[in-house]
Structure 1
Amino acid sequence: MTTTINVTIWNEFRHEKSNPKVAELYPDGIHKAIADGLPELCNVTYAVLDDAEHGLTEEVLNRTDVLLWWGHMAHDEVQDEIVERVQRRVLQGMGLIVLHSGHFSKIFKKLMGTSCDLKWREAGEKERLWVVNPGHPIVEGIGPYIELPEEEMYGEHFDIPQPDELVFVSWFEGGEVFRSGCTYTRGAGKIFYFRPGHETFPTYYNADVRKVISNAVKWAAPVKRENPSYGHAPVPLEPIEGYTP
């Protein structure tokens, strides 16, 4: 039986309102383009920066299995209280997929514990994302590489912790390389960072990019089980001689 995955797509939704080129590429918003590439088993909710509580209320997050995050020009406007709320849900088991410039979001930096800084250049150069972990479920149905004719360059060094698994490494026309597909576990939650997706290029219409995001949603969905218990445990599983709780 196919299980529905409750997906929330969070997008700043600022570039689409201020940049005519982005508005032309993504007239309904980057979040809607991402959603159009997800499989039918996903039940999608949208949340944007200017919504009340950025659209990430306790109710929304509590029913979210996987949260996708796209941000760029307004990272500092995200309220710290909301960041802490998202972090708690990730630790409890909600999956998180951080896209492109979301590397500099408050939530990704909080979960990574590093600056998450990098080199970048906007030259519309070719990007080739090489699959370096061909047995990983995130690259199911993907060939040896994904080639994008125009993208923003991100280059090493990328100041992130050592990934649990490295799935993609990008090469750019200008010569730089970048760890462009990285997985992490924080608490019970699974995290995937996926590099491509600059707002002035039609990256989120690319079939392979959409396939990777769809695979990542299925991979990051939480395991259905009881949450671990913590704290004082006065009653032992087995009797202890001479001990009374």
Structure 2
Amino acid sequence: MTRRFSDLSIQTKIGAIVLVAVVAITTLSVVSLRSLSQAARTTDKLGTATAATAHASNTDMMHDAVRADVLEALISQDKAQAVAGDLADHAKTLQSELAAVRGSGLGPSVSRAVDSVGSDVQEYLAQAKAMVAEAGADPAAARLDYPTFLTAFKKLEGSLPTVAASVQRVVDQDRAAVKNARTAATRTILVSGLLALVLLTGLGWLVARAIVRRVRHAVDALEKVAGGDLTLQLEIESRDETGRMAVALNSALGRLRGSMSS
């Protein structure tokens, strides 16, 4: 194999180096694009998880806002109708934020966490709606029923953080995945580039070394001929241009020796 390569013309050898360079660069580009694409997909997932974290945080705020509506209804009975409207908005937002977390596609663990608080949310909102209505009709009775509402509030307060916790676990996993993907992409690009550099450098060095060595032999021979030594004979190491040059030089020296002897 090495012998056959050495017999190729210098132009073909240089062309082979160029071809290897093109293949190496193309391969490096493909590997880099794949690695960066994987890192980008992981980053996109992290963005989704971060958005879900915001939704989970909003559910906690709406949970507190609903209690604030109930307290306002108990304090200001004349605002019961306006408070009922605010309560409806806050209840709708609480449910929509939970639905957004569940629909974020972060996996079954997040979906299960949202489903697990569903009954607590429904009970809490039903209690809040009943409290606001009762505060407008019978404030004294509403104040007596407030401990029951507070029980529902505390129950949801205890279960609702499981949603945020499940989302946070996904966020932490995705952050680690992004870091690993970036590290892997960087390592892949560096290793691929290093291998391509070593391959091209090695191939170029072998070709250049062979050409330069044979040219030096020819130069040494010509210098000896110039000094009057016609007995030398160049070794034919290949059939490329340098090999043909050695053949031609040996032939010329042979004819010159023949002319001198005659």
Relative to the length of structure 1, the TM-score reads 0.25
Higher fraction of helix: 2
**Normalization by structure 2: what TM-score?**
0.24
Larger relative contact order, structure 1 or 2 (CA cutoff 8 Å, min sep 6): 2
Considering fraction of residues, name the structure with more strand: 1
